[in-house]
Structure 1
C-alpha cells in the first residue's frame, strides 16, 4: 500500500485541465451524507437489522456497495472537513480531532479548495442542504458595539452569516447550531437539544426573529428542498434563490440532520421499526431518500446522475442502550462507536450508483477513506488538484469501472476525539495508545463480544483474524508495531499521505 497510481495530482499551484470534458459528459452528483448512522443500520449491510431501509437497500442493488469505507474522523465536524477538503482534520490544528468548544479548528480555511469549489470551477451548479457541521462565524453578523449571545446582537438581513457559501456552494439551506446559544428546546421523552437550531438560506435566517426551529421539521424540510431543487433544474418550478444555470450539471450535497439525536420522527413514521424512536427516524430518512431517487427517475435525470450514500461516523453511544432494549446493533459486527478510533467509530456505509459505469448489485471490499472524494471527483470531471490540496486524497475512480480495478492506496490514519492516533495498513490496525476508545464499551458488551482485557501501552489488531478487535496482539508482533509506528509518525510529520 505504499503508492497510488490514481492520485490525480499536479505540481502547479493552480488547477489545470487534464483532459477536455464537456458539460454534457459530466454527470450530475447527489451526495447523501448521514449524521451518526451506523454501519449496522441499513439492512443491506446488516441482514439482522430491525429497521426497514427499502430505499437504501434498493440503491445498493442498483449500484456498488463498499464494505471497507472509512470516514476522516469519528465525529461530526472533523469528518465533514475531511470529506470536503480531502485532508485529515487533525492537520487543521491542535483541536482538529474533535468538534471543539467553538468548532475552532474544524472550520475550513479561507481559500482552501473544497469538493464544491472544485466542481463549481468545472461548470457545476452547487447546492448544500441540511447540516453543515462546521464553523459559521456568527461574529461576522454582530452589530457594532454588541456582544454575541442575544437575538438583538445580530444585524440580519444587513449582514450575512459566513458559512458554506464561502466554499463553493451557489445555494445553501443550512440547519445550524446557533453559537453562542440563544435558547434551548426539549422534546418529551428525549434529552434536551444541546443547541438552538436555526435554518439559514443563502446565509440569511429564514426566520428573522431567530426563533428556534421545530426539530421535527428539519429533516423533511431539507429533504423536500432537494426535491424542489431538481424540479427547478428541469423547469417544472421556478426558484431564483437556487442560482441555477440549467445548461450545467449539478452537485447536490444533502447532509441530513439525522439520525443524530434528538430522534424526532414525524408521526407517520412512528412505530414503523422495531428500534423505537431511533429506528423510526432512520426509517423516515430512508423514505426521503426514496423520494429523491424516484424524483430523479421521474425527471429523467437518473441515467446521468451519480448517487452516493454514506455517513459521517459510527453510531452514537446510545447504541449500547438499543442493543439492550431491542437487540439491534447499529455498529454491526464492529467494536466502537462515535468518537472512538476502533472500526465501529469510523467504518461507514458507502454505496455508489452510476448507471452505465458502475455494475449493478456488486460488492467491493477495497479499503479507502472518504478524503478520497476530492481526487475522485477531480478525475471524473477531467481536472487535477495541486500538490498542496487534498493532501490525503486518492482517486478511487478505477474501483467504479468494471475493466480497471487497481487502487494501491497508502495506509489510512485513524484518530479518536482525545487525539489518540492510529493507522490502518492492509488488515492491520495499530493504535499509538492503550485504547482506541473514548466512549468505553460497557462491561456486559465486552463479555458478549469476548473482549480480552490488556494493560499494554499500544494496541494492534489483525482484522482478517479478529474483525471485532477483541484481542490486542501487540506483544506477539513487536516488529509489526515498530513498522506501523514509524509509518504513522512519518505520515504525520511530512504533512500528507503521498
Structure 2
C-alpha cells in the first residue's frame, strides 16, 4: 500500500551518517549499455553466454533482483544516474545523436560526481556520455542538429563548453553518444576532440550480421577503430587506476566506466570473435564480462579492492535485434524472465542487473528483492560519505545504505518507484502492484515491427485506458487487472499525479540543525 499521505513521507528526514576523515571509500561504477537481466548467468540460470566475472562479482557482494534503470533508453537513464532525478521532469523526449545538445544536465544542478568532488574525490568518466553536448561551428554558434549535417558543421578547434568536465567530472575520455552508432566516430578528451573525423566510415569493413545494422554512415577519426572501442576505454580506466595509486593513493576516487558493450552494433574485439559460440552478440557479452574481470583484477593488484565500492548495472533492457535473433538462433533470452525489451514499459525494458560489492561492509553472496532504482545511487553515496543533500538535488533518490548493511531488511526503502519510456509514458510501482498510465508497451510498436508481432500477447482488457499488474502472481504481465481493481488504479494514478506535480518522489531532507 502507498502511504496514506504523501506529506508524511516528504517530511521524513533522511539523515546521512558522518564519514570519518580519511576513511572515504573509492567508488567504481561499471555502467553497461543494453545489458539485459537475462544476459547474465547469476540472474538467468538458462543464459547461454558465460559471464564468470560478473557472476563472481555477485558472489562477493549484494545482488538486487528488483532493480530498475531510470528509463527504458540510454539518454534519460544517464541523466538520472548522474543527478538522482527522473529525466521526465525535464520534458525532453528521446535520445541524443551526433552533435545533439545542449547538455541535458542543468549547469547549476548538483551532480553525483560534483557532490563527490566537494568531498575531495578525484572524479573521472571513461566511455559513453550521451547526455548532450554543445559543439560549435566556425562562427562559434552552437549546433543542435543531431544528424550527419550537424556533425559536418562542427569546428573541432573550439572547446565543448558543457562537457562532463563542466558537470562535476575532473577527467573525461569517451564519446558524445553511442560510440559505434551515432554519426561522430571520434574520442573526446575532457572538452576537446584531439583527432577529429576526417572521412566517411567504410561500412564494408564491418561484419555483416543481424547485430551490425545500427551503424550510421557518419565520419570517422583516424584513431577510431570500431572493434577496439571497449578495449580503448578499458585501457584508459586501467591507466587511471595505476596513475591514481602511484600519484594520489590517499585521495578517494570516483570512476564511472561506461561501456559501448553490449549496445549495437555488436563488433567484438578480435580476441573475442567466435569465442562464445553464440554469434557476434554472444561474443560481445563475453567481452563485457572480460572487461569487468580485468577491472577487478587491477583493483586486486593495486591493493584497492577492500576500500573500493564496485557497482555494476545497465542503462536499460536488451535491444530488439539481440532479443529476436538470439532467441531464434541460440535459445538465449536477454530479457528472461520478463516481458518486453528496450523502450518498453514492461519489465524487460527496465529491470536490470544491479550488483554492489563493498568488501567488509556488504555480506558476500547476499541478495535483496526490494524494489530499487539507479537514481538511488546518488543518495546512497551521499549517505556513505556524510554529505547532506539539499532539497533541490537528487529529488528521486532514496538512500540504500540501510539495505546494503542489512539485505534482509523488511521495511521497504521505497514506497513507490516511477518508470518512464523514451516517449515520456509513465508507470508507478508500489509493492506488488504496477500501474502503467497508458496502453501498450509505451515504447516499441509491436504491430508495426514484423519481427515483434510474434510477441504480442492477448489483451484481456482491451477497453482499459491503462494497465495494472500484480507482479507477485503475474510477473510476466499477462493479465491486465485495470477493470477488476478500479480502487487500486485510482490510488496509484493519484499517487503518480502527486509525484509528478510535487517535483520529487524522495522525502524532503532536514538540515543538520533541524
TM-score w.r.t. the length of structure 1 is: 0.87
Deviations 1:12-71 (A, max 9, x none): xxxxx963531x211011100011010000101001111111100000001111000011
Q: Does 1:133 align with 2:138?
A: no
Could you give the per-residue CA deviations for residues 218-275 of structure 1, whole angstroms, max 9, x where no partner exists?
111001111111111111xxxxxxxx74431100001111100010101211122243
**1:16-27 aligned within 5 A:** 19-22=18-21, 24-27=22-25
- Give the aligned partner of residue 87 of structure 1: 85
Q: Which runs of no fewer than 5 residues in structure 1 stay unpaired? A: 11-16, 179-183, 186-192, 236-243
Unaligned residue ranges in structure 2 (runs of 5+):
144-148, 199-219, 447-451, 508-514
Give the corresponding residue for 2:367.
363
Work out whether residues 4 and 408 of structure 1, in 8 Å CA contact, stay in contact via their aligned partners in 2.
Answer: no
Q: Does the Cα contact within 8 Å between 2:126 and 2:236 map onto a contact in 1?
A: yes
Structure 1 residues 460 and 145, CA gap change in structure 2 (3 angstroms): closer
2:95 to 85, 89, 99: 99
Q: Conserved in 1, the CA contact under 8 Å of 2:124 and 2:171? A: yes
Deviation at 1:156, TM superposition (A): 4.0
**Corresponding residue of 1:181:** none
The answer to whether 1:419 aligns with 2:424 is yes
Task: Please give the secondary structure, in 2, of the residue aligned with 1:40.
Answer: helix
Query: What is the DSSP-based 3-state SS (H/G/I as helix, E as strand, rest coil) of the residue aligned with 2:48?
Result: coil
Number of aligned positions between the proteins: 465
Report matched runs for 1:360-439 at 5 Å.
360-402=364-406, 405=409, 406-439=411-444
Map of 1:477-488 to 2, 5 A cutoff? 477-488=485-496
Which residue in the other structure is 1:205 paired with? 193
Alignment of 1:53-452 (within 5 A): 53-93=51-91, 95=92, 97-99=93-95, 107-139=104-136, 142-144=137-139, 149=149, 153-160=153-160, 162-177=162-177, 193-208=181-196, 211-212=220-221, 213-235=224-246, 245-318=248-321, 319-402=323-406, 405=409, 406-441=411-446, 442-446=452-456, 452=460
Deviation at 1:492, TM superposition (A): 0.6
Root mean square deviation, CA, Å: 2.6
Query: Given that residues 75 and 94 in structure 2 are in contact (C-alpha distance below 8 angstroms), is that contact kept between their aligned partners in structure 1?
Result: yes
Give secondary structure in 2 for the equivalent of 1:303: helix
CA contact (8 A) 1:411 1:426 kept: yes
Counterpart secondary structure, 1:347 = coil
CA contact (8 A) 1:175 1:257 kept: no
Over 3 Å counting, the alpha-carbon distance change for 1:152 and 1:352 in structure 2 is closer
Q: Does 1:455 align with 2:466?
A: no
TM-score by length of 2: 0.85
Q: Is the 8 A contact 1:6 1:395 kept in 2?
A: no
Secondary structure in 2 matching 1:385: coil
Relative to structure 1, is the Cα distance of residues 105 and 78 closer, same or farther in structure 2, using a 3 angstrom cutoff? Answer: farther
Paired with 1:366 and 1:423, the residues of 2 have a C-alpha distance of 15
Partners of 1:98 and 1:150 in 2: how far apart? 18
Mapped partners of 1:219, 1:4: distance in 2? 43
In 2: Cα distance, 1:18 partner to 1:444 partner: 51
Shift of 1:341: 0.9
Distance 1:331-1:106 versus aligned 2 partners, 3 A rule: farther
